Structure 1
């Protein structure tokens, strides 16, 4: 009996299809090592530096976090373009991504250098050299962002995990090592800058041989990066707005409780990132596959449910980890609310990346509208002292979770309609 299908039409075998669970596990391990190493650097810094210097390091790390939105945009646009590419020219397309990363690195470095005097004044940092080192660090992160995009889009999960691991190893070995040799702000930033060189070097080695990218391809990557960066910026702003609202609308003690609770929320936000990284290429290559997005949302939500149940059943352990039972015992009974908020934003983050994968142009606008609504509701309820103290903390975190879930539903609904049209 002969088959009616040609070899090209044969369905892919199970061996040809990498297991999603195995891929997710590889990425999860890489990202877990990266995050643990970064936490290790924080522990070294808090023990080796005086509070004033540690506060300055934290502020400069905050600048790096803000500037890292551009590398994340590069990664998203690169992964989408590689994942949706068909036919020959893979090396040329990868080369155009890397060239775009180099251009972005130069631009971001120059902008950061120009803004250095402003950073020094606003952050009250005496060491100009420490602030200057933010610029080359962001440059290396931009190079790495383009490299991660190529690896992620090509579903090279082992190589991707290797770069993630090198991020953490560079931070804890060189950054932490510098602090062990000489505990100072400048030493910390020198170590962080040198540590950022390692993943960029690893990525360059893994992607050697990529050539042939055209100037027009590079321009297309940069244009798409601007859109992706805007959407990610909107997400990161709304994901961190509650801390600012708590600081401005609650009393100092209550805002302190809220800040401690946010540690729980951030842990729940970052925990399922490996799912987002792994599923993003398939979301880009199959924009009409709503079932795939639904399964990804279910996976992220399932991890969120585990986090909420853990915080609900083991509140004392959660409080001990985030700040200590003596100082934050009052946080225990509603620590699960922060886990819910963080898990809700994890779902929103997945849907945001799905919107970037499908190049949904209205996602950023919808998120900005959600931010305005959250700020207005918080100002009305907390500003008018309808809820104060710990009640105000509960209300604000509940509003945050509600806002994230509402935006997730609205964005997912829009993507479904786009796929159906």
Structure 2
């Protein structure tokens, strides 16, 4: 006897729609993590500390990329009849803003060299050059996302991760230095742009592009909270580079490899939950359910790092970093807190709230002010964990309070 298939649940529909993107993002993150793990092994603590600080700087620079992506996706999804106008306006803005960002970073490269105590100015220059394709990629990804072209978008994400590992590994085998690693990163940033160009080369671009002024305004407001989060999640390595010795800052950077792994492990949850968090009748349930999953997965990682710390050392650099082994669980805890905070930040974006971003910036100020007075590796990671935990509690309480008048979910 046959029975009629039951209609797919909302979660099932979300997984079907975002599954290919979730897989691509996970592969991208694994490739990025593998590149950092190989770099830590081949470069050693002293050199890897400077590379980690440069990669942290690139993540902060990438906020413009994410702002462009979010704006393009929202505009196209809201006005599908104006795809041509939005596409042309977004790409025009991306090209201009990428060149302006590159110019600004070139002007700041001497300061970056001194701040991060680099061996030369060339790695800072490579960060500036790599910002051009990275920014353009954000616009391309947003257009594909808004048009719901999931397969090309997945290929773009894959191109953002795999070439970095392949090119970076080859470059570090030839010369394991910060300059060689950053040259590989800058070069690999062009791979997703090529994929995006092929995917959009037959796009219908209107002769009358969308005005840049409203786009700039929307990108600014959308990027403000993301910039705060990326500043909070990366400022500690910049502090470590300046207040700790080269060896200890390298140990801290190795511990952050585990932190980033735990942070990015549940990133697909945000991809799947974001649409539900945008609807008033489902965002409370989506937020609490997703947060519970992210926190539970993170706590499993914390327990694993504590019990299997010797095994975890294999993934953060090997025996050269043995001094950080007993504190790996703290770095896993930091990753858990950051992954939970990231979900809350996207929940803020989903309900288009702007004030919550100031709370994240306040946490950045606290870490920067107090962290500059900390003289030990353990002290710094504990400070960041405590600050993030307090911020998480405040943001969650504020978000639930703002949702108290939301309509009940449909049954």
What TM-score bracket applies, with the shorter chain setting the length?
A: 0.7 to 0.9
- In the other structure, the counterpart of 1:97 is 90
For 2:178 and 2:316, locate their aligned partners in 1 and report how far apart those are by CA, in whole Å.
25
CA contact (8 A) 1:242 1:396 kept: no
- How big is the shift at 1:61? 3.0
For 1:156 and 1:18, locate their aligned partners in 2 and report how far apart those are by CA, in whole Å.
19
- How big is the shift at 1:393? 6.6
- CA RMSD across the alignment: 3.9
Instruction: Decide which structure has the larger Cα Rg and report it.
Output: 1
- In the other structure, the counterpart of 1:193 is 186
- How big is the shift at 1:367? 1.4
Q: Deviations over 1:47-91 (max 9, x none)?
A: 6668776555444434322211211222223333334x1552234
For 1:187 and 1:144, locate their aligned partners in 2 and report how far apart those are by CA, in whole Å.
23
- In the other structure, the counterpart of 1:69 is 63
Of the structure 1 ranges 254-263 and 197-206, higher mean CA displacement relative to structure 2 is found in 254-263
For 2:146 and 2:263, locate their aligned partners in 1 and report how far apart those are by CA, in whole Å.
23
1:369 aligns with 2:356: no
Name the TM-score, length of structure 2 as normaliser: 0.79
1:406 aligns with 2:379: no
Change in CA separation of 1:89 and 1:57 when aligned onto 2, cut-off 3 Å:
same
- In the other structure, the counterpart of 1:8 is none
Change in CA separation of 1:302 and 1:120 when aligned onto 2, cut-off 3 Å:
closer
For 1:16 and 1:347, locate their aligned partners in 2 and report how far apart those are by CA, in whole Å.
22
Q: Deviations over 1:327-382 (max 9, x none)?
A: 547744x6444323321221111111121232211021121233445667879xx8
- In the other structure, the counterpart of 2:216 is 222
Name the TM-score, length of structure 1 as normaliser: 0.77
How many residue pairs get aligned? The number is 399
Aligned residue among 77, 81, 86 for 1:88: 81
SS at match of 1:275: helix
Aligned residue among 199, 202, 211 for 2:205: 211
Of the structure 1 ranges 58-67 and 133-142, higher mean CA displacement relative to structure 2 is found in 58-67
SS at match of 1:322: coil
- How big is the shift at 1:133? 3.0
Segments of structure 1 that go 5 or more residues without pairing to the other structure are: 1-12
Change in CA separation of 1:311 and 1:210 when aligned onto 2, cut-off 3 Å:
farther
- How big is the shift at 1:129? 4.9
Matches within 5 A, 1:123-138: 123-125=116-118, 128-138=121-131
- In the other structure, the counterpart of 2:135 is 142
CA contact (8 A) 1:79 1:281 kept: no
SS at match of 2:189: helix
For 1:104 and 1:373, locate their aligned partners in 2 and report how far apart those are by CA, in whole Å.
31
For 1:292 and 1:56, locate their aligned partners in 2 and report how far apart those are by CA, in whole Å.
39
